[in-house]
Amino acid sequence: MQEKDKNKNEFGDKINDFIQRNRMVIFTISGLIIISLVALIVFISVKSNMDKKAAVTIEELQTRFDELKPDITDKRAEADILIADLETFAKKSKGVSGSKAWAIAADIYSDREEWNLAQEAFINAARAGEKTYLRPLSLLNAAAAAEEQGKTEQALDLLKQCLSINDIEFPAAPRAQFSVGRLNEQLGNNAAALEAYRVIISKWPQMPEWQQLARSRITVLEIK
C-alpha cells in the first residue's frame, strides 16, 4: 500500500512539475481554444441571423412576384424593378435564398419569353444553389429555355449536367432523361436516343408513365 501511495505521489509530482515548466504553453493553448469556441459561437449566431434575414427577404420578393404575375407582361416597368431587386439580392446571397432569387427572375424572363435572359438566370440559380435541391431543377429549366431558342445542343449539355448530379435527390430526373432522348431524336442521333430511353427502363422501373413513354419511343425507333 505504501509503495502504491509513493508511486501516486511521484506521478502527481511529475504532473505538477510538467505543468509548472510548461504553464505558459498550456495557458496559451487553453486561451486559443476558448477564443476559437467563442468565435465559433459568434459565427453560428451571426450566420443564423443572416439566414433568417435572407429567408424573410426572399419571401417578400416572392410575394411581390406572385402579386405581379397575372399582369407580368403589361406591367413591364414594375417587373423590371423587381428583377433589379432580385438580382441585387441574388448577387450577394448563396444557397437556397440566392438560388430562389435568380429563379424568380428567370420566371419573369420566361413569362416575357425572353429566353436568353431566362437561361442565364436559371444557370445563375444553379450556381448559387450548388449544394441544394435547386441546382438540378435550375439546370433542367435552363435546358428548357435553351430549347425555346433552338439551341438543342446547349439544351442537351445542360440536361447532362443536371443528370450527372448524384448527391442530390431529383424527382424530375426521368423527365430530364426522356428529354435527352427526345432532343437526340431531333438531332437525328437515334442510337443516342435509344440509349437514353433504355436508361429510363433500367433506372426508374417504379415510374410507369416514363417507362411507357420510353418504351413507345424505343418501338418507333427500332422500326425505322
Residue-wise pLDDT tens digits, 147-194: 999 999 999 999 999 999 988 889 999 999 999 999 999 999 999 999
Local confidence band at 48 (pLDDT 50, 70, 90 cut-offs): very low
- Mean pLDDT confidence for 67-96: 91
Report whether 57 contacts 89 (CB < 8 A).
yes
Domain annotation for the chain: domains and CATH numbers:
9-170 (1.25.40.10)
For the chain, what is the HEC assignment?
CHHHHHHHHHHHHHHHHHHHHCHHHHHHHHHHHHHHHHHHHHHHHHHHHHHHHHHHHHHHHHHHHHHHHHHCCCCHHHHHHHHHHHHHHHHCCCHHHHHHHHHHHHHHHHHCCCHHHHHHHHHHHHHHCCCCCHHHHHHHHHHHHHHHCCCHHHHHHHHHHHHCCCCCCCCCHHHHHHHHHHHHHHCCCHHHHHHHHHHHHHHCCCCHHHHHHHHHHHHHHHHC
Per-residue pLDDT, averaged over 17-34, amounts to: 52
CA-CA distance, 176 to 139, in Å (whole number)?
Answer: 10
Percent of the chain with pLDDT over 90: 65
pLDDT > 70 fraction of the chain, expressed in percent and rounded? 77
Mean pLDDT, the chain, whole residue set: 83
- As a whole number, mean pLDDT of residues 28-47 equals 40
pLDDT band at 74 (very low <50, low <70, confident <90, very high): confident
Tell me the three cell numbers of residue 173.
Answer: 430526373
Distances (CA, A) of 155 to 8, 93, 119, 167: 75, 27, 10, 22
* Cell numbers placing 154: 446547349
Q: Which residue has the cell 438560388?
A: 99
The reported pTM is 0.76
What's residue 121's pLDDT? 97
**Candidate from 22-31, 114-123, 144-153, 169-178 with smallest mean pLDDT:** 22-31
Q: How far apart are CA 184 and CA 171, in angstroms?
A: 22
pLDDT of residue 30 exceeding 90: no
Across the chain, how many H-helices and E-strands are there? Answer: 10, 0
Q: Which amino acid, 85?
A: D
pLDDT for the residue numbered 136: 95
